[in-house]
Amino acid sequence: MYRKKQSKFSLIDGIHLATAQEENSILLTVDTDFKDAKNAEVI
């Protein structure tokens, strides 16, 4: 339910995050919409 916390979180952002979680990996991104997401690292 990460999207409910982030108003700018788009469908494709959700797909990227869900794929990272499904693969037990970390999503590397420069998109600050992911700053509080579990499986994401903002660089």
Q: What is residue 7's three-state secondary structure?
A: coil
Count Cα neighbours of 21 within 13 Å in the Cβ-side half-sphere.
Answer: 10
- φ, ψ of residue 10 in degrees (nearest 5): -90, 175
Q: Cβ(21)–Cβ(39) under 8 Å?
A: yes
pTM for the whole structure? 0.71
What is the model's pLDDT at position 4? Answer: 57
Residue 28 has which token pair?
């590397």
> 8-30 pLDDT, tens per residue?
778 898 899 999 999 999 999 99
Domain ranges of the chain: 2-42
Length in residues, the chain: 43
